Amino acid sequence: MKKQLALAFLLSIFFAKAQDSLVATLLGHAGAVNSIDVSPDNKTLISGSKDETLRIWNLADHSNTKTISNPGYSVKKVKFNSKGNKFLATTFEDFMEFDLAKAKKIRTKKKAHTTFIEGCSYSPNDEFIVSTSWRDKTLVIWKASSLKKQAETAEVTWVDNAVFNKASTLIISGGHDDVLKMWDVNTGGLIKQFAGHEDWVYDICFSADEKYIYSASMDKTIKIWDISSGKQISTLKGHSDGVVSLDISKDGKYLASAGLDKEIIIWDLNTKTIAKKFPAHDLTIMDVKFGPDANTLYSASMDKTIKIWKFNLAVN
């Protein structure tokens, strides 16, 4: 009986480890993969690369169904709209909108910024687009229907990323002044600031209930902020170098983080502890995105690859 129990225990460990595995590596990009996004139906992944291309991937068979060339400029950021039928791509001072089914460009907002666009995304209601830039130090809110400027914030530093709340009324941004800022979408007015990081803030995401903000920084930490009070609640430490990307699972229970140390960490947000930590790429990880639940994760790296991971985390 003891031998049977011991064998069962060893087998359980084996199968648990087998479930925490690399499912596939998507190859094809000839340069660093700067950004990825997954469609709302979890059927399609888009990627943007330093090789001046966008790629569309079928997640059912991991095939590259379409490659879109953008000669002359690296593709910095890609982002789906809420329906998943369109997506944005940023290059230098322009951003473009594409039709997914046709894999064709619909329109381009030329000279949206005077230099490098760092981020670009739709609001959850698809009425607005926010774009952020490094060197012209601005955050601009556009009307999605016309691409006319809705508001431009009074920024003073390089802006790395910005995200909308679910109601599409607020934006949280982070940049090279080490501070998070809350903005009014309609006016572009500054509402609140969250100070506490010791280096650039690279990525941001809301908690599922939008009571908290998670921020990733080059100071090697992730901080948790109470939105109503603006106070820092906790600091997550586990990375040995700057944290570049964050994503929260659909059920709001887990947070994925990655960056310069080439490792992925999955955080249990209930206990604020590390649930998974593992080396994932050969070079800096630029982006991470959860799939339909916390047990599927996609990662993109400067090593020119996109990887698909499966876990065995406890989910509802």
Query: Within a 10 A sphere around the Cβ of 67, how many other Cβ atoms?
Result: 15
Is residue 163 within 8 A of residue 175, CB to CB? The reply is: no
- Any domain includes 295: yes
- Any domain includes 36: no
Instruction: Render pLDDT for 98-131 as a digit per residue (tens, 0 to 9).
Output: 999 999 999 999 999 988 899 999 999 999 999 9
Q: Which residue, 306, 313, 311, is CA-closest to 62?
A: 306
Instruction: Render pLDDT for 285-311 as a digit per residue (tens, 0 to 9).
Output: 999 999 999 999 999 999 999 999 999
Q: Hey, what amino acid is at 37?
A: D
CATH of the domain at 285: 2.130.10.10
- Any domain includes 286: yes
| C-alpha to C-alpha distances, 221 to 194, 201, 243, nearest whole angstrom | 15, 10, 7
Task: Name the pTM for this structure.
Answer: 0.91
Tell me the residue range of the domain where 293 lies: 196-310
Residues 6+ apart with CB under 8 A from 121: 77, 79, 88, 129, 130, 162, 163, 164
Instruction: Render pLDDT for 214-231 as a digit per residue (tens, 0 to 9).
Output: 999 999 999 999 999 999
Element (H, E) at 18: helix 2-19
Q: How many domains does the chain have?
A: 1
- Helix, strand counts (H, E) of the chain: 1, 28
- Any domain includes 85: no
- Any domain includes 11: no
- Any domain includes 228: yes
Distance CA 245, CA 263 (A): 11
DSSP type of residue 157? S
Q: Hey, what amino acid is at 81?
A: N
Instruction: Render pLDDT for 16-26 as a digit per residue (tens, 0 to 9).
Output: 344 468 999 99
